[in-house]
Chains A and B, each alone.
Chain A
Amino acid sequence: MRASLLEFNINGIYCPQADIYIDAWKPVDRVIISHGHADHSKYGHKKYLTHHYNVPIVKHRLGKVNIEGKSWGEKFSINGVHFSLHPAGHVIGSSQVKIEYKGEVWVYSGDYKRENDGISTPFELVKCHTFITECTFGIPAFSWKMQNEVIKEINQFWNECKLLNQTAIIFAYSLGKAQRLIANLNLDIGKIYTHAAIENLNEVIRTYKNLPETYKITRETKKEQLLGNLVIAPPSTHGSSWLKKMVPYVTSSASGWMTFRGARRRRNIDRGFVLSDHVDWKDLVKTIRETEAENIVCTHGYKDIFSKYLNEIGYNAFIENTPFEENELLVEND
């Protein structure tokens, strides 16, 4: 019954009937982009389609590209195939892609989470026959606390650093996690300083979204200014000379991987906050149930394990390989 509305080929996720790709990993003519993370929005396609909120982000990252923005739920048809974008709740402008042809509905989830994070458009459930899901955190060891509980922990950590007159460093991915923190942390504690890579994205996002004020760290920034304040920096800055100039500081990381005690120790980070932009185990299972899909295609993450489980509980589950994060620990966009 897998009349393939979508196929996974060497270039990307392909819809033969409409001759268009989704999140292609090799340069193609036409592509629908689910969200702005680098492994999903690649350089070199001729024509890009994505949600309005993602357009400035893609332009910021890829420079001049031929790109068209769509609204949530706006239908567009190509050769009899109806497409629409629906919020995925992963990061700002992240979409699920709904594909409908002759009454058959497929949904490509992209990356997604269920909780409203206060900055991304919240996830919208789309019923379908075939659901292509990510499973980055597809084992039952992952279970997220509510965002407000985690934010409380981070505020408390910030307060503790402030009492000790140290700088609180939090490693977070530039697109998504950084803005989620900025939008939710308690700015009565102090100022939020950002790495240039993050601040540049903030400026792009501020053109269409409200985001509290943040301060870019420049050559002129004195480390004394940072004491008691919070610095948001990309994970790649850990151990860099850029960071070392800010001594005294305490490091932390906000990521789903912080669930594991070992993951934090391996990175030599003081504090780990379990805050993810992906679904945890229970929300994965719940979402699949709620889509009422019979066929589940599992892509990146613990897809072997998760699809085996889905088959056991009565779904037709399949695995498809994508180059998205085969090595989950190299990717920090969670």
Chain B
Amino acid sequence: MIDFASLIEQIDKTTKTNHKVKALDNFFKHAADKDKVWAIALFSSRRPKRAVKTSSLRGFAAELANIPLWLFEESYHIVGDLAETIALIVPETHHKNLSLKFTLSEIIEEIIDLKDLSEQNQKKYLFDRWSSLNYYSRFVFNKLITGGFRIGVSQQLMTKSLANVTGIDKDIIAYQIMGDWKPSEISFEDLILSPKKESLIYKPYPFYLAHSVDVKLEDLGDCNHWVYENKWDGIRAQLIKRSNEVMLWSRGGELISSQFPEIIEMGNMIENGTVIDGEILPFNNGNIGSFNDLQKRLGRKNVSKKTVNNNPTILKAYDLLEHNHSDIRIKSYANRREILCKLVLDVNHPILDISDFHDIKNWEDVVTAHSIARSKNSEGLMIKNKNAVYKVGRKKGDWWKWKVDPLTIDAVLTYAMRGHGRRANLFTDYTFGLWRINNDGKKELVTFAKAYSGLTDKEFKKVDAFIKKNTLERFGPVRSVQPQLVFEIAFEGIAPSSRHKSGFAVRFPRILRWRIDKSQNEANSINDLENLLHV
């Protein structure tokens, strides 16, 4: 695995995209085919199942480093990454060329097999590997075990590199690595170089994603070339029917068929050789609900009839990517829409709805539609060029999203945790509270949201310094902080929730700005939050 570890080291050594791609090219040119497949899997979030409990990993590492477990844990909170902490803490030994002996796939196979070993044997294996790998190999080895292989290589960079090395168009590569494939069972040939036809029937297309509109609407040119639609906050998905099989793929690359049996059932009524791009939305009594309603359908292997009945959904169709067995992404949007309309009418099923589609007479219409979007439970508008083909990934020019302005509220910082990755060792993960007046007339701060983003590095440093000086209590990695700093928190939506202490769940909370001008007593209350529910 020395070649893979040194790839990671090369990528780590630069902030420049070109250098990263070069390092990837070099790896994909020289690595064994099996290792290439595993690298593609790792860089596209297909990691092997975790074979060792992280609690065991921590215990083993502390033991090998000869330090108490609490000291390992403290160090982990500061370093902010388990794989990195272990790599740093276990002692360096001198016979460190073992990474030369094993290939990446051999190491991964060993790791997969770990799950069948007793804890004692897992420990023996890990001690042996930890003490015979150099720092980078050890770090990568740990990453393979702990998962979450996010190390500065986006799927896009990898796709670009694979295109460089194989000469295959990068959009085709993006398509080939979609869907459900098992790195231990597929060859590089079958995955990338010459995929078998029958494997392609399971693949969704890469999604086309919009950029936020960063130009004046007038600058988009003749409004007759454009249409707008409402933008919905659900799960973007592709419904595929090929060879009498119906599949539902999420934008995140997950097969979610089993979570939405009613949509799959509806899919059976569609002709073979069809791919619809749309949004799964909660739909109750003729109304589109909030994302919170959809959450009850997520994160479970199978959903019961009751859950389906209590939390009904629809598929709002946006686009048609495949029709009559042919890829129609190169047709114009207007053209694809026309076919889609007819298809939806033909299927005539209450679960399959079509996204509204508005011609634009003048740009004023769009501004008006934007201003009333929230009242429709829509999160804004999509503005699309009628002539646009369906592209791959996030591309500027033809699709724009224009989100509604977020809701905002002033809240008090109450708890803080150190961040991860580039924010390791800085207190950047915050919990915010709003005031509630209790029956006895006393005021207390009630947690309403957590947020990690929105401040500049400079502001984070200042808040970090405040937290270190004003810690009230420590609960493991979490510190309670003197309630003093006030922040304006923005969020996309709000829904009642029994899971949250405040009684409300907010969507995408983030810090809009630090209200240096406000004292903690001037922050908002839970009542204020409740009032936003009716905006």
Interfacial residues, chain A to chain B (CB-CB below 8 A): 139-143, 259-263, 265-266, 268-271, 302, 305, 308-309, 312, 326-330
Contacts and interface: CB of A to CB of B under 8 A. Distances in A.
A268 B15 contact: yes
B465 A141 contact: no
29 contacts: A139-B78, A140-B65, A140-B71, A140-B75, A141-B75, A141-B78, A141-B88, A260-B80, A260-B425, A261-B84, A261-B424, A262-B80, A262-B81, A262-B421, A262-B423, A262-B424, A263-B424, A265-B421, A266-B423, A266-B426, A266-B457, A270-B13, A270-B15, A302-B74, A302-B78, A305-B74, A329-B461, A329-B464, A330-B461
B133 interface: no
A259 B80 CA distance: 12
Contacts of A140: 65, 67, 71-72, 75, 88-89
Given A140-B89, A266-B457, A270-B16, A261 B68 contact: no
Contact of A141 (B79, B421, B468): B79
Interface string B62-98: 0001011011101100111100110011001000000
A140 B68 CA distance: 11
Contact of B425 (A262, A270, A271): A262
B465 A139 contact: no
Interface string B420-462: 1111111000000000000000000000000000000100010
Given A139-B75, A140-B89, A263 B469 contact: no
Contacts of A312: 68
Interface in B15-39: 15-16
A245 B24 CA distance: 31
A13 B89 CA distance: 34
**Interface of B (DSSP majority class):** helix
A59 B137 CA distance: 49
Interface size class of B (residues with CB under 8 A): 35 or more
Contacts of B422: 262-263, 265-266
Q: Which among A260, A302, A329 has the highest number of chain B CB atoms within 10 Å?
A: A260
Contacts of A269: 15
Interface of B: 12-16, 65, 67-68, 70-72, 74-75, 78-81, 84-85, 88-89, 92, 152, 420-426, 457, 461, 464-465, 468-469
Given A140-B71, A305-B74, A327-B465, 5 more contacts: A139-B75, A259-B88, A265-B421, A327-B468, A330-B465
B416 to A, nearest CB: 14
Given A266-B457, A312-B68, A329 B426 contact: yes
Contacts of A305: 71, 74
B448 to A, nearest CB: 28
A140 B424 CA distance: 16
A271 B13 contact: yes
Of B65, B80, B422, B423, most buried by chain A (CB within 10 Å of CB) is: B422
B285 to A, nearest CB: 48
B421 A309 contact: no
A206 to B, nearest CB: 34
Contacts of B13: 270-271
Contacts of A268: 15
A308 B84 CA distance: 23
B453 to A, nearest CB: 14
A86 B380 CA distance: 68
Contacts of A141: 75, 78-79, 85, 88-89
B71 to A, nearest CB: 6
A265 to B, nearest CB: 4
Nearest to B474: A304
Contacts of A302: 74, 78
A164 to B, nearest CB: 11
A268 B464 CA distance: 19
B112 to A, nearest CB: 26
A261 B12 contact: yes
Nearest to A305: B74
